[in-house]
Amino acid sequence: MGLIAWIVIGLIVGVVANWIVKGGFGLLGSIIGGIIGAAIGGAVTNAIAADTGGILSLNLVSLVFSVFFAIVVVGLAKFALGRGSDA
């Protein structure tokens, strides 16, 4: 159940990250960015906290890190694809 929960969280986090960054990648790009951010955020949180629940454990700290890393992923993708200038 942990993997499915992280995928669902990644979907939601990706949409939120795309909205915050104003990425303009559409729904699919938001979902992919969110899943990548959620995976990185969950792995980093569990590595730092030495969580005994395993890499797929779900808690508030890992959710916060997931949102942060999803914003970073969407922001980096926006920069790399040249969508960073709105002027």
pLDDT digits (tens, 9 = 90+) for 44-76: 777 776 655 555 566 677 778 878 888 888 888
- The answer to whether the CB of 25 falls within 8 A of the CB of 70 is no
How far apart (Å, rounded) are the C-alpha atoms in residues 59 and 78?
28
Minimal CA–CA distance to 46: which of 33, 61, 34, 36? 61
Apex CA 34: angle with CA 18 and CA 29, to 5°? 60
pLDDT digits (tens, 9 = 90+) for 22-32: 766 777 877 78
Using the predicted structure, report yes or no on whether residue 87 has a pLDDT greater than 50.
no
Name the residue with higher pLDDT: 58 or 40: 40
Answer yes or no: pTM beyond 0.85: no
* Arithmetic mean of pLDDT, 2-30: 76
Residue 63 phi, psi (nearest 5): -65, -40
Confidence class for position 21, pLDDT limits 50, 70, 90: confident
How far apart (Å, rounded) are the C-alpha atoms in residues 85 and 82?
7
